[in-house]
Amino acid sequence: MNKIERALISVTDKKGVVELAKELESLGIEIISTGGTAKVLREAGVKVVEISEVTGFPEILEGRVKTLHPHIHGGILFKRDNPEHVETIKKLQIKPIDLVVVNLYAFEKVVEKGGDLEEAIENIDIGGPTLLRASAKNFKYVTVVIDPEDYEKVLEEIRTYGNTTLKTRFELAKKVFALTSRYDRTILDYLSRFSV
């Protein structure tokens, strides 16, 4: 089991994220982050690498595109025990991302507050579900966390083993697919109220 070396943290729900990041940093784990999360972590004294430093590309289109990049998804999706994959990421200078902590834009809350169709559409998360699905698909090597309630368990395993167990990664991956399934269903149910 390889040691976790890099984490990507980008959360809407900031509960416990500062404590998580500080503990990861104390364990020697580099932290990549985006926008509001990076700002919160930096203000709390956590050293953060901006996503644009990793991609070499700025966030564009009012933040619609920031994590959709081979330097992010290649770092998540490569198989650590596949020599061809390892050679490819080395050749392209892509660094592994071993831990992904993401939760999604609160689409449901926007709808509940009575936001209009345009506002609702702007709150359909694209990068978040893509990061989550990529990480969950590659659970053999990558830990993905969507729920602050799982932070302590993940930290405990990293402290003990340098990584999480395969069993934990699999359970966390299943939580991701349950979430993304519900998320897409909520969007479909909302959009089904309209015709254009």
- For the stretch 89-100, pLDDT in tens is 999 999 999 999
Is 191 buried (19+), middle (13-18) or exposed (0-12) by CB count in 10 A?
A: middle
pLDDT at site 136: 98
For residue 78, the domain's CATH number is 3.40.50.1380
Given a cut of 80, whether residue 59 has pLDDT beyond it is no
DSSP secondary structure code for residue 12 in this structure: S
Given a cut of 70, whether residue 181 has pLDDT beyond it is yes
* Residues facing 145 on adjacent strands: 101
* Residue closest to 147 by CA, chosen among 167, 111, 173, 120: 173
SS3 140: coil
Task: Tell me the C-alpha distance between 182 and 101, whole Å.
Answer: 18
The whole-number average pLDDT for the span 48-64 is: 80
Cα–Cα distances (Å) from 177 to 148, 155, 170, 182, in that order, read 17, 22, 11, 8
Task: Tell me the C-alpha distance between 79 and 58, whole Å.
Answer: 27
- CB count in 10 Å sphere of residue 39: 12
Binned at pLDDT 50, 70 and 90, residue 21 comes out as very high
Percent of the chain scoring above 70 in pLDDT: 98
pTM tops 0.75? yes
Between the two ends of the chain, the Cα-to-Cα distance in Å is: 52
Given a cut of 70, whether residue 37 has pLDDT beyond it is yes
Task: Identify whether 92 is part of a domain.
Answer: yes
In total, how many domains does the chain have? 1
Given a cut of 90, whether residue 185 has pLDDT beyond it is yes
What digits encode the pLDDT tens for the residues 68-114?
A: 788 999 999 999 999 999 999 999 999 999 999 998 877 888 888 87
Residue 99's H or E segment, with its range, is strand 99-102
The residues, ordered by sequence, that sit 6+ positions from 180 with a Cβ below 8 Å of its Cβ are 129, 132, 133
SS3 101: strand
Task: Identify whether 155 is part of a domain.
Answer: yes
pLDDT at site 97: 96
Give residue 79's domain range: 6-192
Task: Identify whether 1 is part of a domain.
Answer: no
